[in-house]
Each structure stands twice: as C-alpha cells, then as structure tokens.
Amino acid sequence: MVVGIVKDFKAKLVSLFAGELNVLKYVDFVDLNYKPKDSDLLCAFTLEPEGMDLKEAAGAIAAESSVGTWTQLTTEKPYVTKLAAHVYSLEGNTAKIAYPIELFEAGNMPNILSGVAGNVFGLKALLNLRLTDIQLPAELTKSFKGPRYGIEGIRKLLKVKNRPLVGTIIKPKLGLKSEDHAEVAYEAWAGGCDIVKDDENLSSQKFNPFEDRLHATLDARDRAEAETGEKKVYMINITAETETMLDRADVVIDHGGEYVMVDILTCGWAALQTLRNQNYRLVIHAHRAGHAAFTKSQKHGIAMRPIATVARAIGVDQLHVGTVVGKMSETKPEVLENIEACKAPMHGFNPVMPVASGGVHPRLVPALLEVFGKDVVIQAGGGIHGHPEGTKTGALAMRHAVDAALKGISLEEVAEEHVELRGALETWKE
C-alpha cells in the first residue's frame, strides 16, 4: 500500500512539474487549424507509422525536426513553444508541416536540411518516411544566389532559341586517354551536338588527367566551332574536395571554358554552395549521381523534387531530372514534378534547364518532347556513340530526330531521306 501511495505521489508530482514547464508532447505539434505564415518553410512528408497512430507519428516528425524530443525536459522554457513546427494538414498518409523561419540560419543549406531532413528518417516509430516537397519562404530563398544563367542564359550563350539542346556524354565513361576523349568530343560536335560532357565518375585519373583533358577537348571544341559555324560547349567534371573544385573552376575559366559539371550529391550541398558563391562566369551543370539512394523508394527517403528545389536555390543552371523513357526508373508524374521544381516561380530566380539523360536514343526524341517541351537538354551517350556508323553519324541522327519531332513529322518519314537516322532506328527499335 505504501508503495502504491509513493507511486501515485510521484505521478502527480511529474504531472504538476510537466504542467509548470509547459512540456510539449508529440501530439501537441499537430494543429490542423494552423494557417502557415508567408515566412514559414513548408514540407510535405508521406509516412508509415510503427507503434503509434498516424497523428502522433506526424507530430513526432514536427517535434523532432524542430524543438521537441521523445521525453519531458527540465530545460524547456515557455518561449521555446513559439518555435515549434506545426503539422497543419494530415490527409491519408501525407503530413504537411510548417516550420518557423527562426529555426534556420539564412544562407546555410546544410543547416536547413539537417533540420527538416535529418534525424527524423531514423525514428523507430516510423517504418517509412519520405520527404516529397519543400518550399522555402522568400526571406530564406533570397539568402542564396540561385541560378546565374538558367534557361534563358544558356540559350543566349549557345545561340539556340527555339529547339531542344542536343548533348552527349563521352563513352566509354572511363578508360579513354585524353587525346581519344577529345577526338570523340570533336566527332560529336561535328555531327551536330551542342554540348559534350564528362560522365559522373571521370575526374583526374592517371589515364586522363584533368588539365590534359581540358586542353585537348577545348581545342577540339574550337575546331568544331570553326567547321560548323555553331557554338559548342564542354562540361568538364570538376567534382572534388572543395578547394580542388574551386581551383579547377579557375583553370576552366583561364582556358576559355564556359561550363562546369558538378556531382551535387556526392560533393555535398556546402561544397556546391561554396562554388556558386564565387560567382564564376560559368554555367553549372548539376549531375545527380547517387540520387536513387534517396529517391528510388516510393516509401522512404527524399524525392527528387525537393532535391531539385534545393539545387535551384543554391544556384545550379541545369539539372538531370529523369526521362520517363530510357533506362531510368522514374515515372511520368515524378519527372513532371521535377521539371516543375526547375521552372516554377521561385522568388525571382531563373528557371533551371531540365536535362533528360539515361538510355536516350533518337527513337525516343518525340516522346521526350511530349514530356519536356523545347526547354530541355536531350543528352545521349550510348544513343550517339552506339550508332553503327560512329559518333559523328550518331550525333547527326539525333539532330534529324529533333528536327522531325519539332515539325511533327514521323521519324520513319525523315529516315527515308536521311541514312543516319535510318541507321539509328534500325539499331534501337524501341
């Protein structure tokens, strides 16, 4: 009996103590009557709870990504509650959460993502959690630079106004010596490509050192421009430790380069932000190597849409967004969402040029244009270099396919007059 009295007394004491401290429980972070402020950062999550109901699980996300935690605290102050995130919508398994802007440091993307996309993914109470959208308020957005060029700037640089840009990736992606790499680039440009880029894992290996490759390929670019009368650009991969990446960007500028490519996820948001903050006169092409570790599961991780939003805020000019067709797994709704993140109004920032890449070849061009419209880089590696007549013919076939699709003419009809396209259609039948 004495034990029972003591337990009851302790329970009342804890309850009283908690009341005095205004302790926040998970469910206290759910307020479906809350109207988000213009200054709030907004996120959408899909969740699958384990061991608690949906409302409490949604509250756990808001709590653990703002000012709450799993237990009662003696350190909480009344003013802390003003900084709590709010679950303001809960429909099906989708929770929308508003975060007060005071929770974040302006101009610090790692801080922002550590908050809204950090420890919450490891909560035991959540079997699965997926961040599907992020919207930055104007005050936070303006603390980043955004794209320097974007779609309009890229078109002005390349002097291409009314058609998709045609690009290629050097293949094989690894193994070629610098001289052979440059020759493949020249053949692609001479055949009609606007853009040639490195693949994501080509850096400065012994068989193809960075500066040797840069010199040789820019020389090939100049030769192709003189012969074709068209503007050509080379996206060399500068991805590395941040200081090395900046040094490489300087070398590109010194040698007349106008583009750089960065593996934005493997180098990290802070490194990308440091690069953009230099305000180089360079178009930044964002490769998303490693994204599927976050994006591929429909139940857990981070969708590509918020990744695109974050990359745009930091300041990339073009970004891989999937293809619908080709070898990548994203669905049409996902790709359309990614495109929207690149182009939707964003507090005055330039729209980002979407890039379609991954298993692309000439037969797929009409389908790509139906999804993307004209503002896209159609980027084919194997779909150009795999042409039986070689790279130059493969690039010409791709240009024929683009021209046909823009005119609404079937590829088969155009192929009757252009042997290059006919060879591509015979090689890739679907």
Q: Are 98 and 85 in contact (CB under 8 A)?
A: yes
Under the banding of pLDDT at 50, 70 and 90, the label for residue 329 is: confident
Q: Which residue(s) pair with 126 in the sheet?
A: 49
Local confidence band at 9 (pLDDT 50, 70, 90 cut-offs)? very low
Single out the catalytic residue among 287, 291, 361, 387. 287
When pLDDT is averaged across residues 344-351 and rounded to a whole number, the result is 95
Asked whether the predicted pLDDT for residue 11 surpasses 50, the reply is no
pLDDT in tens, 87-117: 999 999 999 999 999 999 999 999 999 999 9
Q: Is the pLDDT assigned to residue 226 strictly greater than 90?
A: yes
More confident residue, 347 or 184: 184
pLDDT at 70: 80
Asked which of 68-72, 292-296, 365-369 is least confident by mean pLDDT, the reply is: 68-72
Q: How confident is the model at residue 23 (pLDDT cuts 50, 70, 90)?
A: low
Pairwise pLDDT comparison (147 vs 18), residue with the higher score:
147
Neighbours of 302 (CB within 10 A): 21
Q: For position 328, what pLDDT does the model report?
A: 72
Full set of structural domains in the chain with CATH: 2-141 (3.30.70.150), 150-427 (3.20.20.110)
Supply the mean pLDDT for the chain: 93
Active-site hit among 86, 171, 361, 392: 171
Q: Is the pLDDT of residue 12 over 50?
A: no
- H helices present in 315-362, as ranges: 332-343
Whether residue 7 is predicted with pLDDT greater than 60 in this model: the reply is no
Joined together, the tokens standing for residue 67 give: 């000012």
Place of tokens 């953009």: 276
Give residue 263's identity as a one-letter amino acid code.
Answer: D
User: Which residue would you say has higher pLDDT here, 208 or 328?
Assistant: 208
Torsion, CA 119, CA 123, CA 129, CA 131, rounded to 10: -20
Least confident of 2-6, 261-265, 378-382, 390-394: 2-6
Is 160 a residue whose pLDDT tops 80?
yes
Question: Is residue 186 helix, strand or coil?
Answer: helix
Per 3-state DSSP, the chain is made up of helix, strand and coil in percentages (nearest 5) of 45, 15, 35
Long-range contacts of 409-418 (CB under 8 A, 24+ apart): 411/362, 411/363, 411/365, 411/366
What does the pLDDT look like over 43-70, one tens digit per residue? 999 999 998 999 999 999 999 999 998 8
Question: What band does 71 get if pLDDT is binned at 50, 70 and 90?
Answer: confident
pTM for the full predicted model: 0.92
Question: Catalytic: 287?
Answer: yes
CB half-sphere exposure, 22, CA atoms < 13 A: 10
Residue 182 confidence (pLDDT) above 90: yes
Identify the weakest region by mean pLDDT among 62-71, 189-198, 205-214, 250-259: 62-71
Q: Say what percent of the chain tops pLDDT 90.
A: 88
pLDDT at residue number 395: 98
